[in-house]
Amino acid sequence: MVTILGTGLLGSGFVRALLRRGETVHVWNRTAEKAQALESEGARAFVDPAAAVKGAERVHVVLSDDASVDEVLERALPGLTKDVLIVDHTTTSASGTALRVARWNERGHRLVHAPVFMGPQNALESTGLMLVSGERTRVEAARPHLERMTGKVVDLGERTDAAAGFKLLGNLFLMFVTTGLAEVFTLARAMDVDPRTAASLFDHFNPGLTLGARIDRMIGAEWSKASWELAMARKDARLMVEEASRGDHPLAVLPAIAARMDELIAQGHGKSDWTVLAKDALDTAKRGG
């Protein structure tokens, strides 16, 4: 028997996929109606998380944040046996995850963190990407089950907080991609270009293809051989900000990037490649900070 704690969009998808595979599934959700709605599909709903996990071979946690995971697991504790495998799919902080795993280790319970890059449809169809990290024997115990739940499992090693950290890194990049598109659409409006027409640029121009080379240049600190000088990038940023202001659609994010460019230019990096924007972060990494 498998228990799912948290039956929101993602958790419900996991429940339905497990039921399709013939698993017996217990469910709990803070809003009881969401869990109860799954009973018509074969799940058994509980109003008490401790009752929901009683007798489970695995408990999958799909909640919102560190606080909710800590609270619900504490409430579930009376029903948890020492041999149950607890798999937390929640996006949580790296520091909170490390502390949580250590705390449950002291209690003699097996907790492993496996956050996901999956939407509700991925959960239902067992596609997408799942990350996992932690103590080797429990990761190996979890792996066969995780592989049936997703399209690909990426094992990030023994650090208990590695999967949590990588999930945050991935979400950060997604936020910047989305924000970048929002800025593109804002500037397009300011220049009286329809956003869908503006988006057609990416039918021909795919900046994602440069990602690997850009990463290599940044990590290698190859600032001196510029393909786009920082001063020229700053000039373009000025043009964008001016056009947006002129069209009464001010940009929200680019001014902060321009301010960072100004700092680096003041430090003498005007002729450096514009990827020097990563300099401080990489310098700190080299110093072990």
d(CA 229, CA 281): 19
So what's the pLDDT on residue 283?
77
Residue 40 neighbours by CB distance under 10 Å? 7
So what's the pLDDT on residue 19?
98
Which of 203, 9, 210 has its CA nearest to residue 121? Answer: 9
Do 135 and 228 belong together in one domain?
A: no
Say whether pTM exceeds 0.85.
Answer: yes
Do 30 and 149 belong together in one domain?
A: yes
Collapsing DSSP states into helix, strand and coil, what is residue 100?
Answer: helix
So what's the pLDDT on residue 280?
87
Tens digits of residue pLDDT in 156-170: 999 999 999 999 999
Do 83 and 151 belong together in one domain?
A: yes
Mean predicted confidence (pLDDT) in 27-55: 97
180, part of any domain: no
So what's the pLDDT on residue 35?
97
Could you identify the residue written with the tokens 């958790």? 11
Do 70 and 152 belong together in one domain?
A: yes
226, part of any domain: yes
Do 135 and 214 belong together in one domain?
A: no
Range of the domain at 267: 206-286
Please give the mean pLDDT across all residues of the chain: 95
DSSP letter string over 189-215? HHTT--HHHHHGGGGT--GGGGHHHHH
23, part of any domain: yes
212, part of any domain: yes
Do 256 and 120 belong together in one domain?
A: no
159, part of any domain: yes
So what's the pLDDT on residue 181?
97
70, part of any domain: yes
Do 158 and 212 belong together in one domain?
A: no
Judged against a pLDDT cut of 80, whether residue 112 lies above it is answered with yes
Judged against a pLDDT cut of 60, whether residue 185 lies above it is answered with yes
Judged against a pLDDT cut of 90, whether residue 32 lies above it is answered with yes
Lowest mean pLDDT among 73-77, 169-173, 249-253, 282-286: 282-286
d(CA 153, CA 195): 36
Q: Phi and psi at residue 161, in whole multiples of 5°?
A: -105, 5
Do 115 and 249 belong together in one domain?
A: no
So what's the pLDDT on residue 101?
98
Do 154 and 42 belong together in one domain?
A: yes
250, part of any domain: yes
Tens digits of residue pLDDT in 274-289: 999 999 888 755 555 5
| Cross-strand bridge partners of residue 261 | none
Q: Containing H/E element for 131?
A: strand 129-132
184, part of any domain: no
Total domains, the chain: 2
Lowest mean pLDDT among 49-63, 220-234, 239-253: 220-234
